[in-house]
Structure 1
Amino acid sequence: MFTADATAFLSEIADDNTPAFFAAHRDRRTAALDAPMRALAAALAEEFGPLRVLRPQRNRRFRPDAPPYRTDAGLVAADPPRAVLLSAAALTVSAGPWRFDAGQRTRFRAAVDDGLAALLEGWTVASPRLTGLPRGFRADAPHLALLRLGGLQVERSWPVGEWLGTDEPVRRVRETWRAAGPLLRWLDRHVGPADPVVPRPRPAVPG
C-alpha cells in the first residue's frame, strides 16, 4: 500500500519545510502518500463511511508561526471522530474526540464510572489532561484521572516497517476502529455531539 518513499518524504519535509521543497516534490508526495491514502479510505468507506484525506498544507489561520506543510499524512472522519496518521516513525489510528466542549465535558464527568474505566483497558488515551482538580470535585473523587481528561481520544500506534507496503494497514485500521466501537457508543450515549456554535451578531453599521 505505502512504499518506502512515503516515510522518506515525510522525514525530508520535516527537515526542509519550505514551499521550494514542496513544489519540487509535489508529484512525489501525490504518488507516495495521497494516492495510497485515497485507496485506504476507499477500502474502509463501506464499513465506516466517508473519510477525508488531509491536505498537505497546514491551516495556519490560528497558528501563523507553524510550519507551512504537514509532516504527516492521514485520514479523518467527523462523526464519530476517527483518524489515521502516518508519520516518518509510526502509523497511528485513533477514535473519539480530542477535546470536549463545555457541555460535553460536563456530561462526561457526570457519566464517568467503572464501566468507562473497563472500556479504556488496553488503549492509550491521547487527549490532554488537567493538572489540577476539575471544578466541583475533591482530591478523593473516584476515577479522578478520568475526570481530569479534556477529551477522550484513544489510539493505537505501530512503528513503520515493511508491513506498510502490504494490505496490513487496512487490517490494522479496521480492527482498531471495530475495537473502539463500544467506547464510541458509550460516548454517543453519555456525552453526545458538541454544542452547535452560535455565530455572534454583527454590530449594526450606522446608516
Structure 2
Amino acid sequence: MPTTSVFTGWPTDAVVFLREIAADNTAEFWTAQRHRYDAGVRPPTVALAGALTAEFGPVRVLRPHRNRRFHPTVPPYRTDTGGVARTAGGTERSFVLSAAGLAVTVGRFAFAGAALRRYREAVAGPAGEQLVAALVRAEEAGLWLDPAPAQAAVPRGCPRDHPRAQLLARRALRIGAAWPAGPWLSTHEPLARVAGAWRAATPVVEWLDTEVPADG
C-alpha cells in the first residue's frame, strides 16, 4: 500500500481515542471526535502498513466502520486499528493497535472442509514434524501459539496417542505476540516489533502456504 509519510509512531491521543470509542461506541461520539481519528489514528497506521509492504506485500488497513450486515448486534465502530497482509497461499499476517497495546497475529483463522482435511493429513504425516520444528522456532523468537478452536479429541482414524495429537485436534493455526501500551508506541519501535515478529513467523507461513494452500 503506497504511503506519502514515514512511520514515526502513533501519538498518545491515538490510544486515548481508541479507549474512549470503546466506552462510547456511538454515532454521536464518532461524529464529534472523528477529527482525532483522521489526525492521529489512521495516518500512522497507513504509514506503518506502507513501511511493511516492500517486504511482506500489500497491507490492507482496517476500516473504522464494522460490517454489520451479518452481525447487526456488534458495535458500529472498531475499537482498534491495524492492517492485514495476505500471502498468495492464503496465510494472513496482521497487526492491531488497541487501548491495551499492540498485537501481531500470523496464520489461518479457520480450517474447514477440504482445507481442514489437507491440514490434518499434513500434520499426521512427515510434514507434521516440519510444522513442530517451525513452531518451536517461533516460540524461541517470542511468538505464542494461539489457543484456537479445537475439537475434544483427535480426528477419527488417528490414534489418540499420536505424537501430534494436539495439533491434529486444531481447527485453526495462529501464532502471535502482544505488547502493552506505553510511550514506545509513539516511536519507530512498533515497526521494528511488527516486522520482527512477521519475519520470525516465516517458517510457519511457508508451511501453511505449502501444505494447506488456500486455493488448493
Q: TM exceeds 0.5?
A: yes
| Stretches of structure 1 lacking an aligned partner (at least 5 in a row) | 196-207
Deviations along 1:55-89, one digit per CA (max 9) or x if unpaired, are 11111122111111111111012223111111101
What corresponds to 1:179 in structure 2? 200
What corresponds to 1:203 in structure 2? none
What corresponds to 1:89 in structure 2? 100
> 1:90, 1:20 → 2: CA distance?
25
What corresponds to 1:105 in structure 2? 116
> 1:140, 1:52 → 2: CA distance?
42
Structure 1 vs Structure 2 CA RMSD: 1.4
What corresponds to 2:130 in structure 1? 115
| Stretches of structure 2 lacking an aligned partner (at least 5 in a row) | 1-8
Q: Is the 8 A contact 1:75 1:84 kept in 2?
A: yes
- Between structure 1 and structure 2, the one with the greater Rg is 1
Q: Is it true that 1:170 corresponds to 2:191 in the alignment?
A: yes
What corresponds to 1:142 in structure 2? 163
Which stretches of structure 1, 4 residues or longer, exceed 6 Å deviation after superposition? none
Deviations along 1:65-120, one digit per CA (max 9) or x if unpaired, are 11111111110122231111111012111111111131111111111123212211
SS at 1:67's partner residue? coil
> 2:118, 2:98 → 1: CA distance?
34
> 1:68, 1:125 → 2: CA distance?
30
Q: Is it true that 1:130 corresponds to 2:151 in the alignment?
A: yes
Q: Is it true that 1:16 corresponds to 2:24 in the alignment?
A: yes
Q: CA deviation at 1:31?
A: 1.4
TM-score (norm 2): 0.85
SS at 2:173's partner residue? coil
Count, aligned residues: 195
What corresponds to 1:6 in structure 2? 14
> 2:160, 2:194 → 1: CA distance?
38
SS at 1:57's partner residue? coil
